[in-house]
Amino acid sequence: MPEHYGVLAIGRSGRFTVEILEARAGARLMSIEADGWSLTFALNEHRLADILTHLRGGGQSAKLQAGIFLGAPVILIRDNEFSDRYFLRAYKEGHLLEFVLAAEQLAQFTAAVAQACHDLAS
């Protein structure tokens, strides 16, 4: 039987909508909708604030595991060549799902995550 989720927090900026969904059992999902693509994955516990910090350039590592998509880790990777480019990637057993977030898209995504963090905290 499929799990039922409710919206716990939401953020919107430009072409991005970020929703944090929660099941009755407490499991959380992060749903990202943008022009031409969407991705929903299991969010690592208490990771939304870490995702925002990482997007704003904080943290020592260039990689942050944000969650899990169909058993594959979802990793947010800061590009070492361009400071305004990130990759949102899920990779497992030769299969790759990757979205590039750069320039204006990165700014909009970061703003949507910030709004969702604020909504979650209130």
pTM score of the predicted model: 0.94
Structural domain boundaries enclosing 97: 5-121
Residue 1 has pLDDT above 60, yes or no: no
Q: How many domains are there within the chain?
A: 1
In this structure, what are the phi and psi dihedrals at residue 95, rounded to the nearest 5 degrees?
A: -100, 135
pLDDT at 64: 95
Q: Mean pLDDT over all residues of the chain?
A: 94
Alpha-carbon distance of 34 to 103, in angstroms, equals: 15
Q: Are 61 and 35 in contact (CB under 8 A)?
A: no
| Model confidence pLDDT, tens digit, residues 25-48 | 888 999 999 999 999 999 987 689
Beta strands in the chain (DSSP E): 5-13, 16-23, 28-34, 37-43, 63-69, 72-78, 85-92, 95-102
